[in-house]
Amino acid sequence: MYKEYKQYPDIAPVSSHYSRAVRVGNMLFIAGCTANDNPAENGDFPSQLRETLERIKSIMEAEGQTLDDVVKLTTFVVDIEAIAVY
């Protein structure tokens, strides 16, 4: 099956040498979205999460999808105590 490696420099810039997403058939795999290169990067958890989800939404829309098409979302946090107040 053909794999199409995708980049979205205007939506979610990549600072290293990997693809932001890979399309395989009718499936789209998105990875590594963060709030980097945005004022939210050094902000609080809700600001970073909002920016990250907005980027994922924009990538999905660029591919003709919506957030309703998301099957699974995995999130990693550095300090779980920092988000306990939210």
At 85, the pLDDT band (50, 70, 90 cuts) reads low
pLDDT at residue number 1: 86
- Alpha carbon distance 34, 36 (integer Å): 5
User: Which of residues 13 and 49 earns the better pLDDT score?
Assistant: 49
The pLDDT tens digits for 69-81 are 999 999 887 777 7
| Residue labelled with tokens 């919506």 | 66
DSSP label at 26? T
3-83, superfamily in CATH?
A: RutC-like (3.30.1330.40)
Better-scored residue on pLDDT, 45 or 61 = 61
Q: Which residues make Cβ contacts (< 8 Å) with residue 50, sequence separation at least 6?
A: 40
pLDDT over 80 (residue 55): yes
What is the mean predicted confidence (pLDDT) over 10-30? 88
CA 85, distance to chain mean position in Å, is 23
pLDDT for the residue 13? 78
Domain boundaries, the chain: 3-83
Bridge partners of residue 28, in order along the sequence: 23
